[in-house]
Homo-oligomer: A and B are copies of this chain.
Amino acid sequence: MTPRHAFNAADRAPTGIVLLNLGGPETLDDVEPFLLRLFADREIIQLPFQGTLGPFIARRRSPKVRKLYEAIGGGSPIKWWTEVQAQGMVRRLDRLSPETAPHKYYIAFRYTSPSSDDALRAMQRDGVRRAVAFTQYPQFSCATTGSSLNELWRAAARTGLTDAFEWSVIDRWPTHPGFIDAMTETVRQGLSEFEPADRDDALLLFSAHSLPLRIVNRGDPYPQEIGASVHEVMKRLGVGNQYLLAYQSEVGPVSWLGPSTERVLHGLASKKRRNVLVVPIAFTSDHIETLSELDREYGDLARSLGITNFRRAPAMNGSALLQDAMATIVREHLHSGEACSPQYGLRCAGCVNPQCRHVANPVKAYARMPVTVTKETRQFIASGMARSTG
């Protein structure tokens, strides 16, 4: 016999869960378009004469980046892993939260398909009304989750779907116990690959994507949240291994948040450390920064410097614990009735982007949210539409 909630669920409009992430080029031919879109995004990169200089830099970097993707199998696995995670999440959610079932997932990447526009149009086709924007970056930064949300709201305006859905936002989960469990499991797996005699000596080098100091100095919460994630993982892990936190992937002439993972490896080598486990703390899936930068670039560097046992904790990728965490996070969120976390309502002290910290058509008026679209915001959204569609 079909349980009553399952029968009801089939009649109901699905709850749409939009997974926000950067995305990556799926094939080698996607590399150049991906870079062109990235270097055109003024929310992330500000260049003088961006309309000319952006494409110039993107095209010049393209062959090099293409080679990096070639070396890791011809493209980014992020879409693959996001699908795996999303399917596991939705299966669990239908069971955990029958009152909001059925749940359907939609992927919204930034510079590659499926885009926010694709996600919104698919939601409309599926008859979604209640929608949750669920960032796949555990720690919040304006450069990641903030800009993904801004793009989602711009896409809603572009597609004429601003009022089509009632939105709420899961904007961060840096210390959610389920996430910490899943991350800690990857560290245990990484440690288990050391010889027992070396294991206790292994230094845990947590590595997160760096952020330009310009963004840090505006009051971006990312460094504090990364620090909190590291703390919770170490507490959950319960081992006496030494650890430190560093930041990777800095590029270009601006100043970035340190210490740099690369320079830390030089320093550890000079101090004769032989056993290092690098732990990507800010990503849920493998992509170019783990498979190429950490495993190849820094791995080769570390070994050449004498760090003979340099290993990386696996990304969570297909981890069942991550899918448990994602489902639990969404269920708790849906049952809280909140439109977003209190922190999302707090614009960075130095923020100059008038679109920031907006929720389109929020499920519930949230006292501290700028839920009224100001003239300033409307102009900003319109200018974004002009740029994106023009």
Contact = CB atoms under 8 A, between A and B. Distances in A.
Interface of A: 174-175, 200-201, 203, 213, 216-221, 223-228, 230-232, 235, 240-246, 255, 258-260, 263-268, 271, 342-343, 345-351, 367-368
Identify which of A231, A235, A342 gathers the most chain B CB atoms within 10 Å of its CB: A231
What 9 pairs between A and B have smallest CB-CB spacing?
A227-B227, A267-B349, A228-B231, A217-B258, A242-B346, A264-B349, A224-B227, A219-B259, A224-B245
Contacts of A219: 244, 246, 259, 264, 267
B349 A242 contact: no
Nearest to A258: B217
A255 B217 CA distance: 12
Given A242-B345, A267-B349, 18 more contacts: A201-B368, A217-B263, A219-B259, A219-B267, A224-B230, A225-B231, A227-B227, A227-B228, A228-B230, A242-B343, A243-B343, A243-B346, A259-B349, A263-B349, A264-B349, A264-B350, A265-B349, A267-B351
B217 A259 contact: yes
Nearest to A205: B349
A356 to B, nearest CB: 11
Nearest to A267: B349
A312 B350 CA distance: 21
A161 B46 CA distance: 59
Given A217-B258, A227-B223, A350 B242 contact: no
A218 B203 CA distance: 16
A253 to B, nearest CB: 15
A217 to B, nearest CB: 4
Contacts of A343: 242-243
B203 A263 contact: no
Given A223-B227, A227-B224, A228-B231, A346 B203 contact: yes
24 contacts: A174-B231, A201-B368, A217-B259, A217-B263, A218-B259, A218-B267, A219-B246, A224-B227, A224-B230, A227-B231, A228-B228, A231-B231, A231-B232, A242-B345, A243-B346, A244-B349, A259-B349, A259-B350, A263-B350, A267-B349, A267-B351, A271-B347, A271-B349, A271-B351
A349 B270 CA distance: 8
Contacts of A232: 231
A165 B223 CA distance: 40
A226 to B, nearest CB: 7
Contact of A227 (B226, B235, B240): B226
